[in-house]
Amino acid sequence: MNPTRQTSALAITSLVSGILGWTLLPFLGALVAIITGHMARREIRAANGQLDGDGLAVAGLVLGWVAMALTLAGLFIVFAFLGGLAWFAALNS
Protein backbone atom coordinates (compact mmCIF):
# COMPACT_ATOMS: atom_id res chain seq x y z
CA MET A 1 0.00 0.00 0.00
CA ASN A 2 1.38 3.41 -0.99
CA PRO A 3 1.17 6.20 1.53
CA THR A 4 -0.95 9.13 0.38
CA ARG A 5 1.17 12.13 -0.53
CA GLN A 6 -0.19 15.58 0.12
CA THR A 7 0.40 18.65 -2.04
CA SER A 8 2.23 21.49 -0.34
CA ALA A 9 -0.06 24.41 0.51
CA LEU A 10 2.86 26.79 -0.02
CA ALA A 11 3.33 25.45 -3.56
CA ILE A 12 -0.33 26.08 -4.35
CA THR A 13 -0.05 29.56 -2.83
CA SER A 14 3.01 30.26 -4.96
CA LEU A 15 1.24 29.27 -8.17
CA VAL A 16 -1.92 31.24 -7.37
CA SER A 17 0.15 34.29 -6.38
CA GLY A 18 2.18 33.98 -9.57
CA ILE A 19 -1.02 34.08 -11.60
CA LEU A 20 -2.25 37.05 -9.57
CA GLY A 21 1.09 38.73 -10.25
CA TRP A 22 0.15 38.74 -13.93
CA THR A 23 -3.45 39.85 -13.43
CA LEU A 24 -4.80 41.63 -10.37
CA LEU A 25 -1.77 42.28 -8.14
CA PRO A 26 1.24 42.91 -10.39
CA PHE A 27 4.01 43.63 -7.88
CA LEU A 28 2.60 42.14 -4.69
CA GLY A 29 1.48 38.88 -6.30
CA ALA A 30 4.91 38.38 -7.87
CA LEU A 31 6.66 39.05 -4.57
CA VAL A 32 4.45 36.58 -2.68
CA ALA A 33 4.93 33.98 -5.45
CA ILE A 34 8.71 34.25 -5.19
CA ILE A 35 8.81 34.02 -1.40
CA THR A 36 6.30 31.18 -1.06
CA GLY A 37 7.83 29.32 -4.00
CA HIS A 38 11.22 29.17 -2.29
CA MET A 39 9.59 28.24 1.01
CA ALA A 40 7.58 25.46 -0.68
CA ARG A 41 10.62 23.94 -2.37
CA ARG A 42 12.48 23.89 0.94
CA GLU A 43 9.45 22.34 2.67
CA ILE A 44 9.09 19.67 -0.06
CA ARG A 45 12.78 18.72 0.11
CA ALA A 46 12.62 18.46 3.92
CA ALA A 47 9.51 16.20 3.80
CA ASN A 48 11.47 13.25 2.33
CA GLY A 49 8.88 12.28 -0.27
CA GLN A 50 5.79 12.95 1.84
CA LEU A 51 4.85 16.14 -0.02
CA ASP A 52 4.15 16.81 -3.70
CA GLY A 53 4.00 20.11 -5.52
CA ASP A 54 7.54 20.91 -6.59
CA GLY A 55 6.31 21.60 -10.13
CA LEU A 56 3.67 23.99 -8.80
CA ALA A 57 6.31 25.79 -6.74
CA VAL A 58 8.64 26.09 -9.74
CA ALA A 59 5.79 27.40 -11.92
CA GLY A 60 4.97 30.00 -9.25
CA LEU A 61 8.62 31.00 -9.04
CA VAL A 62 8.93 31.39 -12.81
CA LEU A 63 5.72 33.43 -13.03
CA GLY A 64 6.83 35.57 -10.09
CA TRP A 65 10.36 36.26 -11.33
CA VAL A 66 9.25 37.03 -14.89
CA ALA A 67 6.50 39.36 -13.66
CA MET A 68 8.97 41.06 -11.31
CA ALA A 69 11.53 41.50 -14.10
CA LEU A 70 8.93 42.98 -16.46
CA THR A 71 7.65 45.31 -13.73
CA LEU A 72 11.15 46.58 -13.00
CA ALA A 73 11.95 46.94 -16.71
CA GLY A 74 8.71 48.87 -17.20
CA LEU A 75 9.56 51.20 -14.31
CA PHE A 76 13.03 51.76 -15.75
CA ILE A 77 11.57 52.60 -19.16
CA VAL A 78 9.04 55.02 -17.64
CA PHE A 79 11.69 56.81 -15.59
CA ALA A 80 14.11 56.92 -18.54
CA PHE A 81 11.37 58.40 -20.73
CA LEU A 82 10.41 60.99 -18.11
CA GLY A 83 14.09 61.82 -17.53
CA GLY A 84 14.53 62.27 -21.27
CA LEU A 85 11.54 64.61 -21.37
CA ALA A 86 12.96 66.63 -18.50
CA TRP A 87 16.33 66.85 -20.22
CA PHE A 88 14.68 67.89 -23.50
CA ALA A 89 12.59 70.52 -21.68
CA ALA A 90 15.71 71.91 -19.99
CA LEU A 91 17.47 72.16 -23.35
CA ASN A 92 14.64 74.17 -24.89
CA SER A 93 14.22 76.65 -22.07
Residue pLDDT, tens place only, 27-80: 999 999 999 999 999 999 999 989 999 999 999 999 999 999 999 999 999 999
Please enumerate, as own/partner, the contacts of 69-72 that have beta carbons within 8 Å and a separation of 24 or more: 71/26, 71/27, 71/30
Using N-to-C axis directions, what is the helix angle for 26-46 and 9-22, rounded to 10°? 160
Residue-level pLDDT at 1:
47
Mean pLDDT along residues 9-35: 96
Residue-level pLDDT at 85:
82
Question: Does residue 2 have a pLDDT over 70?
Answer: no
